[in-house]
Amino acid sequence: MIELNEPPALRQSVFEDMACAHMYWAKHKKRIPESSRPDAARGVEDHEVLATYLTHLMRNNLRKDLRFLDALMMGVSEDAQEALVRFRDDHDFDPEKIAGVEIEIALDENFKPVDPGTVGAYAAAKQCGTSIAYLGKLDLVILQSQAEAEIVDWKTYYQIIDPKHFQSKFYPLLLFCWNPSLERVKFVLEFVRYGASRTVEYTRSDIPMLKAIAQHARKRQRQLHEALSIDGAQPQASPGRHCMWCPLVLSGCPLANQNPYITRSPAEQLKYVIWLREADKQNTELLKQWVLQNGPVECHDDNGVEYVAGFSELRKQQYPCTATSRILKQWLRTHPNDRTITEQLTMSGLSSFLKARKRQSLAKRLASIARTTVTTRFDIDRKSGDQPRLDHAA
């Protein structure tokens, strides 16, 4: 097989591949193709639907066109359709603000755009032999003004995460370099399945920090690529969540016998967690009974780190509504500029009261001011409707 000596441009997926040197070697030196994964196929389908839809809105100066969107959704798998149901109902766009869809931005080692503004910049640069160091394809760019832009990155997976990863810094950097008039760039992770989003914002003054992060990753990539070019190089394998998109996960991983991502199927992992959870419950209960009678238990590991199991006091403070609002009002009279309290203070614990029929009108009024935050939680539970099994029925 052909070995590539020049490192490919650094892009989000290449950054993720660097998590395991062996996977990087397989994908970018040996060019072993990735095996198809249902989640990747769903992502591709949904991205195609969204790109075609947004391009249609832009070309026809429309905020929304549900007929067109429905027709597009009919053409994809059920899995891909399901992820877009919420998006269909709760999105419209200002077509005049859409700067572009699937904008490919390529930069050289000095962060200079290689072919500014051209979709397919990478292919064009490759043809004329220009070397590209940084590359990204931005799902959607909205220009709020000449100086403010928003990058929307569609996510179809099941967990809502905060924009703290490499991509959330890398894409704003690409856009800043591509459009020098921008002063502020917002990066929005849009979880289409839930109609929820998470954002992070950068200003032009953040560019040195963003460049340093990209340069550091590029340097690491170069070093890895060079090290893997030496004859007889033995790339290290490091298992992790990235194993899920490794072409060697089914065969070829040097850690195949120990790698927990390979040795257990997802269903077996779930069974193992259920067993661990039960074992943990039993063990903690035994320990608790012992501590209850005899006081704290202590131990330490070989590094001298000490652990203790025991009961400790925990105080939770709650503020009764009527008295608190009276005191807060007095406070705000003397501190009218303390807007943080009035704008950010929220009340919880109302839901059960609002369920009562006699408070229907109150529930309605409060619904209009309620703030809903959508998050995801990892659960392992019985499927609803399943009855507990009767053990050893006589």
Q: Which residues bind ligand SF4 (CB under 6 A)?
A: 20, 22-23, 237-239, 242-243, 246, 248-249, 253, 255, 259, 261
Q: How far is the CB of 246 from ligand SF4 (least distance, A)?
A: 3
Judged by CB, which is closer to ligand SF4: 22, or 198? 22
Q: How far is the CB of 268 from ligand SF4 (least distance, A)?
A: 17
* CB 253, min distance to ligand SF4, A: 3
Which is nearer to ligand SF4, 195 or 252 (by Cβ)? 252
Q: How far is the CB of 37 from ligand SF4 (least distance, A)?
A: 13
Q: Which is nearer to ligand SF4, 149 or 249 (CB)?
A: 249
Q: In terms of CB distance, is 73 or 237 closer to ligand SF4?
A: 237
Minimum gap (Å) between residue 243 Cβ and ligand SF4: 3
Q: CA 58, CA 256: separation in Å to the nearest integer?
A: 49
Closer residue to ligand SF4 in complex, CB, 80/255: 255
Supply the minimum distance, in Å, between the C-beta of residue 27 and ligand SF4: 9
Nearer to ligand SF4, 260 or 310 (CB): 260
